[in-house]
């Protein structure tokens, strides 16, 4: 079994001896579907608060190391937005690249995993400053 369980080198097939791929993909999709339902709940509440009949656009930021599979989140949003004020909403998802700051030298560098040594001074581990977020950045609604 690999030491890493996420990131660019992650291979879900390496877990085939533990679970079959269908079960793995279903679990991943259920995670993103739950996130999608929460995002749509935020959109619905925003529309209701503003007296809007429709949600036109939903903008979401997803960090590269947030543990979210963007295609699965997009799929979940498309399924979950049916019969809501967001049923016609365009979904805009932006992936935020992971970056970390070194507490020793103060440099800021790209990150590919949660724990990485500083590539400049090699004295400390980087402290993540971007790339683990999941947030609704903006919701555009259509007023009555």
pLDDT tens for residues 39-94?
999 999 999 999 999 999 999 999 999 999 999 999 899 989 999 999 999 999 99
Long-range contacts of 111-118 (CB under 8 A, 24+ apart): 111/65, 112/7, 112/8, 113/4, 113/6, 113/7, 113/65, 114/65
Residue boundaries of the structural domains of the chain: 12-143
Tell me the two tokens of residue 139.
Answer: 């919701």
The model's pTM is 0.76
Domain 12-143's class?
A: alpha beta
Angstrom distance (rounded) from CA 96 to CA 112 = 12
C-alpha closest to that of 111 among 70, 69, 66: 66
pLDDT tens for residues 13-39?
555 555 555 554 555 567 888 999 999
């Amino acid at each position: 079994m690999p030491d890493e369980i996420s990131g660019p080198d992650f291979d879900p097939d390496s877990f085939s001896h533990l679970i079959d791929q269908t079960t793995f993909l279903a679990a991943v999709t259920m995670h993103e579907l739950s996130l999608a339902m929460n995002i749509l709940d935020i959109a619905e509440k925003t529309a209701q608060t503003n007296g809007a009949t429709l949600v036109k656009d939903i903008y979401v930021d997803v960090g590269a190391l947030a543990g979210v599979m963007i295609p699965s989140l997009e799929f979940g949003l498309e399924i979950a937005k049916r019969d809501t004020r967001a049923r016609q909403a365009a979904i805009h998802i932006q992936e935020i690249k992971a970056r970390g700051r070194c507490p020793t030298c103060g440099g800021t560098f790209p990150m590919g995993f949660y724990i990485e040594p500083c590539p400049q001074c090699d004295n400390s581990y980087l402290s993540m400053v971007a790339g683990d977020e999941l947030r609704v950045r903006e919701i555009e609604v259509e007023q009555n």
